[in-house]
Every structure is written in structure tokens, then in C-alpha cells.
């Protein structure tokens, strides 16, 4: 195994709270994400950044927005344009926040599309839609894969909602258009330097921001200068003139004056007069920072991701938490660092300045050490999170050995992973770019629970492609096999069977070469699932039974139960109903012994179908009622829709048309919530539309009924 250089001291997980409450303490096994929990209504999203404390000089624009809001019959779409630092986002946040409670009770959605970011790639609309759909309560495991499907679902879910949507820094109309909600009660504000003229076809109105008038600019500076403004009016006038009416520059100087009470306006005016206005005010403020704050300003530009927790910043800087807090506070007080909901971010002009400085002033070695420290910090915390969520998995990375323990629960741990997804993804790609092969594949392995939960297929694939290459470079066949099965799962999830097969086959050989039987069993299971999906039921049965035998031999009861359930589904498709009943009944019993209510519920539907085909429809209905009760506690739309769908079919077969329609209406409700393909089938049956898609018989066993893989997971 390789040893990447340079290697600074590892920033270990400590006993302190990390991120969203991943802590050190005792890890106890037995808690898994698949355990059912009482279903709670999804909270209304509140994603807008904090509004500015005061917004001066924009009364005309605010009045215009109010007027347009009162006139709309379609979703309100306004593009706010202007140069950097003119206050586009501040205006949008101020107006939306002011009207949020009254006009937008269904929530606020926000995304920084990073179209003009100096480091970060622009966000694809498909990724943004996935995040918006999750924020609106859509189950991540049932997200459509492509842009078109996600956009259609987004429009459907927002059709009756009053939402405030802020799209920050898009580069083109194509980034914006799929993110427009479907309700005339919603409002979308777009803040961009680009004019986005293509959005006029979508009914967009435009506000082109101008520099602040001198009176408003004076008011901004007075808030920081205090009595000095009246004592030195001429110096104040000179400073206002130097700022050229740019709100961001004025706000930075106001913060600068607030912190430095002994700085006279005359001294500041003299400094500014010797400064090139085109370089902005940041160089002036930088010179006033302490040595440590100057270094932090530079190094933070290297962080892999736009926003981060203070503990990640401390790791990058290589200093303790308390000292880091003091340094970060110095930067925050003068607005060279923003803080929102406990996360830090360098504003775009600040990051540009910091990048220029770190490349000019810090050695390559210093920069590499800083990046390596924070990448290892993310790896350590990803490992802790992964172990918390999957304590019984046969993890390969050596950092899973002798882990410190954690007090965080499953929900908190998943929330941390979701909050850090962009940073974790970027850290993996950065590690690969620097040739830190071991870090790369270990990050990929540790991020497995994140991808299973969120289904971010694009990031899932991007990280795993570099991770597989890194494991191969390290000559680590077990790691390469593990990552290939993880990537294959993403492809199976998207019905990309050819690509899945291209990774499963070498994974099986690599696992056997490494003697890693858990990964070998996973590859066999995946080959079985792939054969089942392709209609090759006999081959699927052979492969799945091999995977089942390995789970039983090595004493993995949950993996064995889930694989046995899949064997039952395959037997059902082969028409071997009695054998299917036997396997599914055993799987149900074993999962009940493991107190895995969700998995039990997913076994009950094919078990009910097997009993129906065997002639015992009465028992089938009882099993479906039990599945409905179990699933109702977790709000699983996909599974509940399938249960009600089958109940309706059985009622129709028994001649009870009224009951059939009642069940189908319930199924349609759940299918529409996730844009399920069978919603069209039920609309046709209920008389909502005429066309019935082909190949949509819900009574067929669906290989995807088992959302969670059985083995090595």
C-alpha cells in the first residue's frame, strides 16, 4: 500500500463536537438507517441566507418588487443584475425575507450556482433539483435520475406551493430555467452579473442595480464611523467617493471602522488615496490584520469547497480550536469571512484576493500541507460517520480500526454527511488530483452511506471513478473490488446495466484474488440482481443462492435474510409460488427477529403476491394490511403505493369495484408524490386519462422492491 507524501500529522477525531454533532463517545452497534421510525411531517425549508442588518438606498427597487408581486398571474421571475459588490444578493434576500411569512409560507429555497466562482465548477441543474426535491421532503431513494424527470417532479411538487426561490450567481439561462417552480404563487429572484437575456422568454423582469447615491453611501459609513463622521466630514466625503457607491466596499469599510475605533477617517482616507481603486478595499484591510489572520485569509482560499465548519478551518490552518476561533473572529469582524448557520465562507472577491496572495506568498509545500490536513480531517470524520451508520460492515480502510466513539445518532450523522457532501466530494477529487491515492480510495469507501442515503449519482460516480484508479495504483485489490461494487450499485440504481456489469465482473475476480469474501458475496448478489432485472431468472437464482450461502456461512443474518427475500422474488417470477412462499416466509421471520420493520414490510408484498398466485387471496390481503401498517409509520411512498396498488388489483379480482378504486386512489396519491411511472396506469384506470403505458403490470414482481442491498452494506 502506498504512503503519500507529504504527510503532516493526522488530525484525529477528538472528543469535541464536530460539524452537526458527530462526537467522540462510545459506539454501540445495532442502530441502522433501515430501522423504521415514526413518520414526521417534513419541515418547511428555510434556506435563505441571513439578510443584511440594514439595506440602504434601495427603496425604489424594493417598491418595484412589491409592485410586480401584486401584479403577477404567473410565477414571479426577476433577474437582478449588476457588477460584483453592487448588492444583488443582499437586495434579493432582504425582499424575500421581509415577505416570507406572509407571501411564501411553504418555504424558501436557495442555491449558489457558482457560475462565476473562481474555483468551484458551476452546479448542474440536475444536482440542484435533487437538493431542492430533498428539501421539499421527497425521499432521496426515489429521485428520478435525469434532469428531465427531476424537473417534471419539481414542477409537480411545487404546483400548489407558495415558495421563495433565490438563485445566486448563475452563468446562463440554461442553469436557471429547470429551477423555476410550477406555481403562480411562487417568486424566483435571480442574482447574477450576467444579463441572462434568454430568460425574457420565460417572462423575466429585470432590475439593473446602480451604485448607491452619495446620501445612502454616507449612511452606510456612518454606521461604522460613529462620531468620527461628524468630526471629519471632508475625510468621510473622500472615502465615500473612493468607494464609488459599491455597497460591498462600503460595508467592508464600515466593518473596518467599527473594529478599529482609534483609526481616524483622515488616516483611512490617506491610505485609500494611495490605493488603486480597481484593486478594491481588500488589500487595505489585509494590511491591518494580524500575522495569523493574514495567513488564515490566504490559506482558507485553498479549502476544498465553498462553505465549511470552523473545525475544518482549524484543521486546514493547523492550529487548535480556541486559537482558530480567535483568528476566524478577526476575519469575520471585518467581513473578510462570512458566517451563516455556523458555516464559514469567503465572499467571492475576498477569495479571489486570497488565492492570488496564497499563490504568490506561500510555498508549494505550505499549501500542500494545509490541503492535506483538511482532506485528512474530512476523511477522519467521514470514517466516523460511516462506522456509526454501518458498524457491522467489513470496512477495508485502516482508519476504521480503533475508532474513537460517537454520541451522535443516525439522523444527526446523516445530516452531517448531507451538509458536507460538496466538501467531501471535492476533498476526494482534490486528493486524487494531488496523487494521494490512499486518501482517495479511503474517502470513497467511507462515503458509501452518504450515497446510499442521498442518491447523488453524479458525485457518486465522479468520486468512485477516481477512487478505483487510486486503489489500482495502490495495488489494493480488495479496495478496488469494494469501490467497483459501490459504483455498480449506482449504475444498477439508474438501470445502467451495461456499465454495472463492467464493474461487477472485475470486482468479483479482484475480491477472490484478495480473499475478501464479503465483497465477493456482494458481487455475486449484484450479478444476481442484474440477471433478474434482465429477465434471466434461472441464472439470477443460482447467483443469489451463492450469495445467500456465503452470508449464512459467515454468520451475517441480515445479509442472509435480505438475499433470501430476493431468492423468493426470483422464484415468484419463475412461477414457483410454493417455493417462493417458503423463502419469503423464512426471510420475514429472520428480519422480524432483527427488528427490521422496514425490510419486513418490503418482504410482505411479494409474499402476499405469492399467496395470491397459490390460491390464498384472503391471506394475501392480511399480509398487505400488515405491510401498510408498518410502512405508514415511515412515509415510504414507493412501497405504500405498491401495497395499495396490489390491494386494488386483488379487490378488482374479487369483484369489489368500489374497494378497488379506493385502494387505487390511495396508491395514486403515493405514486404522484414521487412521480412514479405507474401513476399513469392508475390515472387511466380511475378515468383520469385514457392512455395506459405498456409493460406496466404492477402485479409482476419488481426486482427493485428491495431498495437496500443485502450484503456487505
Amino acid 31: pLDDT: 29
Instruction: Look up cell 418588487; give the residue.
Output: 65
Residue 18 pLDDT more than 90?
A: no
Q: How confident is the model at residue 7 (pLDDT cuts 50, 70, 90)?
A: very low
Question: Hey, how many other C-beta atoms are within 10 angstroms of the C-beta on 698?
Answer: 19
Integer Cα distance of 426 and 449 in angstroms: 17
Secondary structure (DSSP) of 392-407 = TS---SGGGTTPPP--
CA distances from 706 to 354, 389, 567 (A): 49, 19, 11
For residue 104, give the C-alpha cell.
Answer: 411564501
Amino acid 142: pLDDT: 79
The residues, ordered by sequence, that sit 6+ positions from 227 with a Cβ below 8 Å of its Cβ are none
Is the distance from CB of 265 to CB of 229 less than 8 angstroms? yes
* Closest C-alpha to 640, from 664, 609, 613, 607: 664
Amino acid 711: pLDDT: 58
Instruction: Look up cell 396498488; give the residue.
Output: 645
For residue 142, give the C-alpha cell.
Answer: 426515489
Amino acid 568: pLDDT: 98
Is the distance from CB of 163 to CB of 109 less than 8 angstroms? yes
Q: What is the mean pLDDT of residues 670-699?
A: 67
Is the distance from CB of 80 to CB of 209 less than 8 angstroms? yes
Distance of CA 25 to the CA centre of its chain: 27
Q: What is the mean pLDDT of residues 553-568?
A: 95
The residues, ordered by sequence, that sit 6+ positions from 308 with a Cβ below 8 Å of its Cβ are 343, 344, 345, 423
pTM for this entry: 0.80
- Lowest-confidence segment of 38-47, 206-215, 370-379, 561-570 by average pLDDT: 38-47
Q: How confident is the model at residue 634 (pLDDT cuts 50, 70, 90)?
A: low
19 torsion bin: left (phi>0), alpha (psi -120 to 50), beta (else)? left
Amino acid 311: pLDDT: 98
CA distances from 633 to 31, 411, 606, 628, 656 (A): 17, 16, 20, 9, 28
DSSP alpha helices (H): ranges in 420-556?
Answer: 421-433, 437-446, 448-454, 457-473, 477-493, 497-514, 517-533, 537-553
Is the distance from CB of 544 to CB of 691 less than 8 angstroms? no
Integer Cα distance of 446 and 395 in angstroms: 8
| Residue 149 or residue 514, greater confidence | 514
For residue 132, give the C-alpha cell.
Answer: 431542492
* Closest C-alpha to 162, from 133, 180, 184: 184
For residue 66, give the C-alpha cell.
Answer: 412589491
Integer Cα distance of 499 and 268 in angstroms: 62
Query: Which secondary structure element, helix H or strand E, spans residue 56, and what is its range?
Result: none
Q: What is the mean pLDDT of residues 549-561?
A: 94
Is the distance from CB of 569 to CB of 532 less than 8 angstroms? yes
3-state helix, strand, coil split of the chain in percent (to 5) is 60, 5, 35
- Lowest-confidence segment of 49-58, 308-317, 560-569, 631-640 by average pLDDT: 631-640
Query: Within 13 Å of residue 281, how many CA atoms lie on the same side as its CB?
Result: 27
Instruction: Look up cell 440542484; give the residue.
Output: 128
Q: How confident is the model at residue 118 (pLDDT cuts 50, 70, 90)?
A: low
* Closest C-alpha to 709, from 482, 488, 489: 489
Residue 15 pLDDT more than 70?
A: no
Q: How confident is the model at residue 592 (pLDDT cuts 50, 70, 90)?
A: very high
Instruction: Look up cell 470486482; give the residue.
Output: 507
Q: Specify the 3-state DSSP secondary structure of 253.
A: helix
| Residue 602 or residue 18, greater confidence | 602
**Tens-place pLDDT, residues 658-668:** 999 999 999 99
What backbone phi and psi angles, to 5 degrees, belong to 108?
-130, 130
For residue 558, give the C-alpha cell.
Answer: 441480515
Integer Cα distance of 504 and 507 in angstroms: 5
Amino acid 619: pLDDT: 97
| Residue 154 or residue 19, greater confidence | 154
**Tens-place pLDDT, residues 203-261:** 999 999 999 999 999 999 998 899 999 999 999 999 999 999 999 899 989 988 998 88
Integer Cα distance of 598 and 634 in angstroms: 8
DSSP-derived pairing of the beta strands 187-192 and 205-208? unpaired
Residue 644 pLDDT more than 90?
A: yes
Q: What is the mean pLDDT of residues 52-65?
A: 91
Integer Cα distance of 210 and 208 in angstroms: 7
**Tens-place pLDDT, residues 514-531:** 999 999 999 999 999 999
Q: What is the mean pLDDT of residues 164-193?
A: 94
Amino acid 23: pLDDT: 32
Amino acid 571: pLDDT: 98
Secondary structure (DSSP) of 635-702 = T-HHHHHHHHHHHHHHHHHTT-HHHHHHHHHHHHHHHHHTT-TTHHHHHHHTTS-S---SS--TTS--
- SS3 per-residue string spanning 93-132: HHHHHHHHHHHCCCCEEEEECCCCCCCCCCCCHHHHHHHH
In eight-state DSSP terms, residue 48 is P
The residues, ordered by sequence, that sit 6+ positions from 256 with a Cβ below 8 Å of its Cβ are 224, 263, 268, 281, 284, 285, 288, 334
Amino acid 78: pLDDT: 97
Is the distance from CB of 463 to CB of 444 less than 8 angstroms? yes
Q: What is the mean pLDDT of residues 469-495?
A: 96
Amino acid 688: pLDDT: 66
What percentage of the chain reaches a pLDDT higher than 70?
88
**Is 90 exposed, middle or buried, given 0-12, 13-18 or 19+ CB atoms closer than 10 A?**
buried
Query: Which secondary structure element, helix H or strand E, spans residue 80, and what is its range?
Result: strand 76-81
The number of residues in the chain equals 713
Cα dihedral 65→69→75→81 (10° resolution): 0
| Cα Dmax for the chain | 95
Integer Cα distance of 135 and 156 in angstroms: 15
Q: How confident is the model at residue 95 (pLDDT cuts 50, 70, 90)?
A: very high
Amino acid 151: pLDDT: 92
Q: What is the mean pLDDT of residues 340-363?
A: 92
* Closest C-alpha to 427, from 305, 296, 311, 344: 305
**Tens-place pLDDT, residues 362-387:** 999 999 999 999 999 999 999 999 99
Amino acid at each position: 500500500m502506498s504512503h503519500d507524501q507529504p504527510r503532516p500529522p493526522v488530525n484525529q477525531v477528538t472528543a469535541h463536537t464536530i460539524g452537526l454533532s458527530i462526537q467522540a463517545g462510545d459506539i454501540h452497534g445495532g442502530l441502522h438507517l433501515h430501522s423504521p421510525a415514526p413518520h414526521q411531517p417534513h419541515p418547511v425549508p428555510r434556506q435563505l441566507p441571513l439578510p443584511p442588518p440594514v439595506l440602504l438606498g434601495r427603496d425604489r427597487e424594493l417598491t418595484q418588487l412589491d409592485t410586480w408581486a401584486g401584479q403577477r398571474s404567473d410565477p414571479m421571475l426577476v433577474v437582478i443584475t449588476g457588477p460584483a459588490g453592487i448588492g444583488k444578493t443582499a437586495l434579493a434576500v432582504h425582499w424575500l425575507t421581509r415577505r416570507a411569512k406572509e407571501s411564501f409560507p411553504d418555504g424558501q429555497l436557495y442555491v449558489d450556482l457558482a457560475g462565476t466562482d473562481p474555483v468551484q465548477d458551476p452546479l448542474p441543474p440536475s444536482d440542484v433539483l435533487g437538493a431542492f426535491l430533498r428539501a421539499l421532503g421527497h425521499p432521496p431513494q426515489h429521485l428520478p435520475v435525469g434532469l428531465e424527470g427531476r424537473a417534471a417532479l419539481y414542477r409537480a411538487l411545487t404546483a400548489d406551493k407558495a415558495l421563495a426561490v433565490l438563485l445566486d450567481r448563475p452563468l446562463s439561462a440554461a442553469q436557471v430555467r429547470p429551477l423555476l417552480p410550477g406555481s403562480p404563487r411562487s417568486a424566483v429572484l435571480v442574482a447574477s452579473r450576467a444579463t441572462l437575456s434568454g430568460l425574457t422568454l420565460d417572462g423575466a423582469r429585470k432590475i439593473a442595480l446602480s451604485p448607491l447615491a452619495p446620501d445612502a453611501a454616507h449612511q452606510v459609513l456612518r454606521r461604522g464611523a460613529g462620531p468620527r463622521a461628524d468630526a471629519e466630514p471632508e475625510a468621510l466625503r473622500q472615502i465615500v467617493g473612493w468607494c464609488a457607491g459599491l455597497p460591498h466596499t462600503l460595508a467592508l469599510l464600515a466593518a473596518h471602522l467599527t473594529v478599529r475605533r482609534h483609526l481616524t477617517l483622515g488616516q483611512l482616507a490617506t491610505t485609500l488615496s494611495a490605493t488603486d481603486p480597481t484593486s478594491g478595499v481588500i488589500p487595505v484591510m489585509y494590511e491591518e490584520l494580524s500575522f495569523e489572520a493574514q495567513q488564515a485569509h490566504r490559506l482558507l482560499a485553498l479549502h476544498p469547497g465553498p462553505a465549511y465548519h470552523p473545525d475544518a478551518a482549524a484543521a486546514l490552518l493547523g492550529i487548535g480550536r480556541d486559537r482558530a476561533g480567535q483568528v476566524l473572529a478577526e476575519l469575520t469582524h471585518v467581513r473578510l469571512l462570512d458566517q451563516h448557520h455556523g458555516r464559514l465562507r469567503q465572499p467571492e472577491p475576498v477569495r479571489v484576493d486570497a488565492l492570488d496572495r496564497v499563490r504568490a506568498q506561500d510555498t508549494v509545500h505550505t499549501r500542500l500541507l494545509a490541503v492535506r490536513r483538511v482532506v485528512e480531517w474530512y476523511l477522519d470524520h467521514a470514517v466516523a460517520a460511516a462506522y456509526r451508520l454501518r458498524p457491522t460492515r467489513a470496512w477495508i480502510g485502516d482508519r476504521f480500526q480503533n475508532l474513537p466513539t460517537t454520541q451522535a445518532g443516525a439522523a444527526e450523522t446523516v445530516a452531517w454527511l448531507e451538509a458536507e457532501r460538496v466538501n467531501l466530494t471535492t476533498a476526494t477529487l482534490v486528493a486524487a488530483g494531488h496523487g494521494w491515492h490512499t486518501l482517495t480510495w479511503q474517502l470513497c469507501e467511507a462515503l458509501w452511506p452518504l450515497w446510499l442515503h442521498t442518491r447523488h449519482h453524479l458525485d457518486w460516480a465522479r468520486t468512485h471513478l477516481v477512487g478505483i484508479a487510486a486503489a489500482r495504483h495502490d495495488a489494493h485489490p480488495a479496495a478496488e473490488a469494494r469501490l467497483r461494487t459501490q459504483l455498480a450499485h449506482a449504475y444498477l440504481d439508474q438501470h445502467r446495466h451495461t456499465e454495472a456489469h463492467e464493474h461487477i465482473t472485475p470486482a468479483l475476480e479482484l475480491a477472490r484474488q484478495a480473499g475478501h469474501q464479503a465483497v465477493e458475496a456482494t458481487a455475486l448478489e449484484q450479478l444476481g440482481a442484474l440477471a433478474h432485472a434482465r429477465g434471466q431468472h434461472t441464472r439470477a437464482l443460482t447467483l443469489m443462492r451463492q450469495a445467500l450461502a456465503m452470508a449464512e456461512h459467515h454468520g451475517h443474518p441480515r445479509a442472509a435474510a435480505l438475499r433470501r427475500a430476493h431468492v423468493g422474488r426470483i422464484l415468484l417470477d419463475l412461477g414457483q409460488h410454493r417455493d417462493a412462499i417458503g423463502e419469503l416466509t423464512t426471510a420475514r421471520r429472520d428480519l422480524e427477529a432483527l427488528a427490521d420493520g422496514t425490510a419486513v414490510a418490503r418482504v410482505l408484498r411479494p409474499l402476499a403476491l405469492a399467496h395470491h398466485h397459490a390460491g390464498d387471496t384472503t391471506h394475501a390481503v392480511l399480509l398487505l394490511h400488515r405491510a401498510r401498517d408498518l410502512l405508514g409509520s415511515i412515509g415510504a411512498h414507493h412501497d405504500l403505493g405498491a401495497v395499495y396498488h396490489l390491494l386494488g388489483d386483488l379487490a378488482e379480482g374479487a369483484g369489489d369495484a368500489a374497494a378497488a378504486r379506493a385502494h387505487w386512489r390511495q396508491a395514486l396519491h403515493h405514486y404522484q408524490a414521487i412521480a412514479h411511472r405507474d401513476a399513469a396506469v392508475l390515472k387511466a384506470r380511475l378515468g383520469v386519462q385514457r392512455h395506459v403505458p405498456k409493460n406496466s403490470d404492477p402485479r409482476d414482481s419488481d426486482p427493485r422492491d428491495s431498495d437496500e442491498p443485502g450484503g456487505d452494506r
